[in-house]
């Protein structure tokens, strides 16, 4: 297949505009080049897996929200005017059903046409299965439809509000860690612009350098994959993205003062370092109990 433009409807190069640009606040509508042998660009091929994973997380968190809502109705019924019977949330159940149907459909397509493996009848397992076959889906004749189906459920504002009904409209996730260069290409150093996730936007855009990526991508860039030691700001950003709640770096320092997490020396800028896995485990211990 000769190299052509990505066919995903939502594909666009920042600040580059195509022939049919809608104008106004368009941030870039010229599609990227499709990857060799694929119908999607490298970015949207990767996002197939990330959107599937995000959809599974939303599915699971909607389930937790439904459970909490039902438990709340039962507590009201014990001493109030309600009967105490769980009140079904039709919107939440409908949204979870739509996510499951989409993932099941893609898994069946992969299984029927490739005959490789079979995921467990479990939404996270199906999302992981789709992720493993993302490159094949990106080369499929209906790659644009697959990309749209996954983006629709992973980026639907309604799904996010159902999964996180008490979440803030704006969530600080850390500072942009990317290097920026001036017009002649010389390095200027880190961008450093504050990054915010908005409940109605599936992608996070840095207002400084213009980079627009998924939460998972920013998480890897901020926290890193090679090292598990992070400073308080990167650790707070990681927990904020995982729990969809504001996390102050001072909270991590407080945990260390109380002996709940350990300090692991300092970096070259004399910033105290913490083990990110240890932070995640303690947050799970504390916040899971609160959520329940």
pLDDT band with cut points at 50, 70 and 90 for residue 169? low
DSSP, collapsed to helix, strand or coil, labels residue 144 as: helix
Q: Which residues contact 71 (CB under 8 A, 6 or more apart)?
A: none
pLDDT exceeds 70 at position 150: yes
pLDDT for 221 equals: 80
pLDDT band at 141 (very low <50, low <70, confident <90, very high): very high
| Nearest-angstrom CA–CA distance, 224 and 229 | 9
- Confidence (pLDDT) at 267: 79
Confidence of residue 1 (pLDDT cuts 50, 70, 90): very low
How many other CB atoms are found less than 10 A from the CB of residue 130?
Answer: 27
Q: What percent of the chain clears pLDDT 90, i.e. is strictly above it?
A: 24
- Higher-confidence residue of 3 and 15: namely 15
Under the banding of pLDDT at 50, 70 and 90, the label for residue 132 is very high
pLDDT exceeds 90 at position 104: yes
pLDDT digits (tens, 9 = 90+) for 36-91: 889 999 889 998 998 998 898 888 888 877 876 766 554 444 344 443 333 346 88
Task: Write down the pTM of the prediction.
Answer: 0.60
Return the higher-pLDDT residue of 50 and 17. 50
27 or 163, higher pLDDT: 163
In the predicted structure, residue 147 carries a pLDDT above the cut 70: yes
Average pLDDT (243-266) is 84
Once rounded to an integer, what is the mean pLDDT over residues 119-126? 92
For 180-216, the pLDDT digits (tens) are: 765 555 556 778 787 877 765 778 888 888 888 887 7
Percent of the chain with pLDDT over 70: 75
Spatial separation of the C-alpha atoms in residues 275 and 287, rounded to whole Å: 18
Q: What is the CA radius of gyration of the chain?
A: 21
Q: Shortest CA distance to 143 belongs to which of 52, 41, 217?
A: 41
**Angstrom distances, CA of residue 91 to CA of 66, 95, 159:** 10, 6, 9
Question: At residue 130, does pLDDT exceed 90?
Answer: yes
In contact, 123 and 147? CB cutoff 8 Å: no
């Amino acid at each position: 297949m000769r190299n052509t433009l990505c066919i995903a409807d939502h594909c666009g190069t920042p600040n580059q505009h195509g022939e049919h640009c809608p104008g106004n606040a368009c941030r870039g509508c010229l599609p990227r080049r499709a990857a060799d042998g694929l119908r999607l660009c490298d970015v949207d091929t990767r996002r197939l897996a990330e959107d599937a994973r995000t959809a599974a997380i939303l599915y699971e968190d909607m389930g937790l929200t439904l459970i909490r809502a039902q438990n709340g109705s039962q507590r009201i019924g014990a001493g109030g005017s309600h009967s105490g019977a769980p009140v079904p949330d039709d919107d939440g159940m409908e949204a979870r059903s739509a996510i499951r149907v989409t993932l099941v459909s893609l898994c069946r397509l992969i299984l029927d046409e490739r005959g490789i493996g079979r995921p467990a009848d479990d939404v996270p397992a199906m999302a992981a299965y789709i992720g493993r076959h993302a490159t094949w889906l990106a080369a499929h004749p209906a790659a644009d439809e697959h990309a749209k189906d996954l983006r629709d459920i992973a980026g639907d504002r309604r799904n996010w509000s159902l999964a996180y009904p008490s979440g803030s409209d704006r969530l600080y996730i850390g500072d942009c860690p990317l290097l920026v260069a001036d017009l002649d290409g010389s390095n200027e150093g880190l961008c450093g612009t504050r990054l915010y996730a908005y409940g109605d936007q599936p992608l996070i855009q840095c207002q400084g350098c213009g980079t627009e990526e998924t939460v998972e991508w920013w998480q890897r860039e901020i926290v890193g994959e090679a090292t598990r030691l992070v400073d308080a700001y990167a650790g707070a950003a990681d927990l904020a993205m995982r729990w969809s709640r504001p996390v102050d770096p001072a909270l991590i320092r407080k945990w260390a003062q109380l002996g709940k997490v350990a300090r692991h020396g300092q970096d070259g800028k004399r910033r105290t370092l913490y083990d990110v896995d240890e932070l995640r485990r303690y947050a799970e211990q504390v916040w899971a109990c609160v959520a329940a």
